[in-house]
Structure 1
């Protein structure tokens, strides 16, 4: 009554050798380098050169190459940049902790403290 299936099912699992696989550590390195690179861009935009250099060192260590840097200033205000940097540093801290990267965890925590202090020292607008 039914004709037998003569082709390979599209639902059958693919051969593992066909796709490249990364270890969990490699995936975490990529994710951490991405968070740090984004934090570096915001830190550069804020003009925090010493902090930017420390972040750039860690990005270079994780990627094996120096990070691309941009020096153009965007139109975002300092408060918005500090908030973005605080969020990015928090993300980097979470990944660094799961990867047991003490150097990046310390750096991320320091950046979080610095951006929190910068936000607290600014007068509240619209309150």
Structure 2
């Protein structure tokens, strides 16, 4: 996993210009397309995010996962992969105080997209 993170970080610096909105980098398994993201703070520079990069195959219960298979073409890594299954009562979010609800609502997409096939990595690059 660390090798994959380092590969994305090193290769992304050489593979795209800062103005590119959707940079493509090569990992040891194939190419991935990320997305430049402007932060809401004027003093911070944009980051590039690569979301949902597979780092293992769908595991069978109580067994180790294998490395992911290589792919051809460019994998869209602009949306996160599914989260691992967990018990979450989404109705409880709506009953929370407003300050808590704002924070929890940012996590809602991750809480509604769950799967046992959840071995995906998100990489953010400044």
The alignment's TM-score, normalised by the length of structure 1, stands at 0.23
Question: Which structure carries more strand by proportion?
Answer: 2
Higher relative contact order (CA 8 A, sep 6+): 2
The alignment's TM-score, normalised by the length of structure 2, stands at 0.23
